[in-house]
Structure 1
């Protein structure tokens, strides 16, 4: 039994069941035993490999897109460059290598890394030690100073706590984490219900036992970023795995020692994530007055941003083995049966601008 599991068992025994959102937040962010606060989960030694770890091309292309966005925004003399959940700092290091060729961009930028993990802050500082922009660490996006923004969030929203509701004879009741007769963690159903006006059309005829997820934490961050973009100008890229339209389904998952595992089995030692509802993120941005640009798959986004051209340039003059590795990376990042379709890219912009490689909002 993990230390956090025992801590949660004692709390639930004393105070009653907790929501899925509370369970997820404790598993990932508990100060003593949380997954992100006590370990380095990213890279080949961690539980999973994110796109920036697959290839430098990923961060480089995001850098190129954001440099174009900077020009579209009128090349502000001062702006806030923000990354939410920067992992090991790999994406930003690759991004800044591209930005090195645009001195005015670097001179205007203040780099903000939104990161709560002391351990990961150390890793990010080391990764970015030779770049021209020293990182300013922030606990939340709210701590980022005012001004025009360029925001990147790669695999950030999937780790924010979600609520789950179960379809019962009485409506959609909140799913809870409680204890069974033996004192083990188990899922149950609580008395709180999802209001009727919050039930999406796609869930109206769902059968009993269906699960519907809501993501108020993710939507709040998206709305806050969009509000800042409306007030000060800016551009945001949200990259994550998820779905384009709201629908019932249980997407909460645990990754433990490189394999999928029971969500309740190893709290604090397994990574918990949920698929991102991009329709809800777009609605939150629109509510703030910003413009969510048409959603792209990661494969389409990278290919339209020049992935094949960058791969060709990177492989020129390299050994056959190195060229094969580059081709494998392209496949992993962009192929529909790998990361290409599962991962989506949502851009948030102010009204009246067109940002490549996105089509104007309809």
Structure 2
């Protein structure tokens, strides 16, 4: 029985499920979850990430990590952690760039936080047996500073969805339609429950955002905030910094960002359970607020273009083009894909969480 059929049977017996429960089952169901059984990255797969667009992305993050480590006082050892490392390309490119500073490589203990066994196999194939693998951040030993990188991780963490109705806010759930297929529905929020959903605005206008219209969807991701809190707590105790890169919002705003992607195309998430990648936008305001509450410095949020251009990606592209003139046009396209406003440059954001006494490069104004 497919995951879709099992979800239908569960809902028929027990009633509608929340969007986060559906999201988690689609990605991590042991029998049929997308990441548990069939993650497929790259041009020939379901989706492509920035490290797979160009080596420049991981190389520049490597240079950022070296400078951050230097500002930390060049600790040895330190934990170099990547969460959600995909097929290992980002870490591979980061470590290659880090050869510029042998002391950094000598001090780094590489840890990969990965729950997907198929992806662990791909990472091991690319990186060898140097890294250590764990399933959760709290399995990475403490007692030493940490530099953490996570690219397109937040969007893999589920969000609750709330719909503004004429009678107030209701939670979006997934049930069965009259045809027996999965369908979105609404679950009423009692007064006490509504009061507990703090990220949901009141029906009055939000300053600077305009009125929240009837039918608008508001997303709240306790999972994203919890991860930020866990990372920040670790940084506040042991020191270091975390770099989070993802597509998402830099300011609170309504919108339905739940999407499924298969073969580089958006597909219906309710018809492709377990067969497609499922994501929501990263909520950077909530992530930063949670990190600060846990005792770390955080912010500001930069666009990916601002981040990469400040690190010198244009100069790196010129160097690569000079070394391989036959690839100059391809490198130019890769550069545009990473920093172009109509490409990844504006939609993707970069945020930094760090220890209270640290000012990482490009994030000196973190508070």
What is the TM-score when the length of structure 1 is the normalising length?
A: 0.95
Q: Which residue of 2 aligns with 1:169?
A: 166
Q: Which residue of 2 aligns with 1:352?
A: 357
2:324 counterpart SS class? coil
- Say whether the 8 Å CA contact 1:293–1:359 is kept in structure 2: no
Q: Which residue of 1 aligns with 2:347?
A: 342
2:155 equivalent to 1:150: no
- Say whether the 8 Å CA contact 2:169–2:188 is kept in structure 1: no
Aligned residues, how many? 357
- Say whether the 8 Å CA contact 2:114–2:136 is kept in structure 1: yes
Distance change (3 Å), C-alpha of 1:348 and 1:11: same
CA deviations on 1:130-173 (whole Å, 9 max, x unpaired) are xxx71111111121110211000100000111111111233222
Gaps of 5+ in 2: 206-211
Gaps of 5+ in 1: none
Distance 1:210 1:270 in 2: 26
- Say whether the 8 Å CA contact 1:165–1:194 is kept in structure 2: no
Q: Which residue of 1 aligns with 2:180?
A: 183
- Aligned pair partner of 1:212 in 189, 198, 218: 218
CA deviations on 1:239-284 (whole Å, 9 max, x unpaired) are 0000111111111111122211112111000111111111001001
- Aligned pair partner of 1:325 in 326, 330, 354: 330
Q: Which residue of 1 aligns with 2:123?
A: 124
2:121 counterpart SS class? helix
- Say whether the 8 Å CA contact 2:50–2:338 is kept in structure 1: yes
Distance 2:244 2:169 in 1: 29
My pick for the range that moved more, 161-170 or 9-18, is 161-170
**Aligned-residue offset at 1:191:** 3.0
- Say whether the 8 Å CA contact 1:149–1:235 is kept in structure 2: yes
2:110 equivalent to 1:105: no
CA deviations on 1:195-231 (whole Å, 9 max, x unpaired) are 2671455864422221110010011011110011010
Q: Which residue of 2 aligns with 1:303?
A: 309
My pick for the range that moved more, 224-233 or 348-357, is 348-357
2:254 counterpart SS class? coil
**Aligned-residue offset at 1:316:** 1.5
Distance 1:203 1:312 in 2: 51
2:317 counterpart SS class? helix
Distance 2:275 2:245 in 1: 25
1:228 counterpart SS class? helix
Distance 1:270 1:332 in 2: 23
Distance 1:213 1:174 in 2: 10
What is the TM-score when the length of structure 2 is the normalising length?
A: 0.94
Distance 2:6 2:197 in 1: 36
Distance 1:312 1:334 in 2: 15
Distance 1:219 1:22 in 2: 17
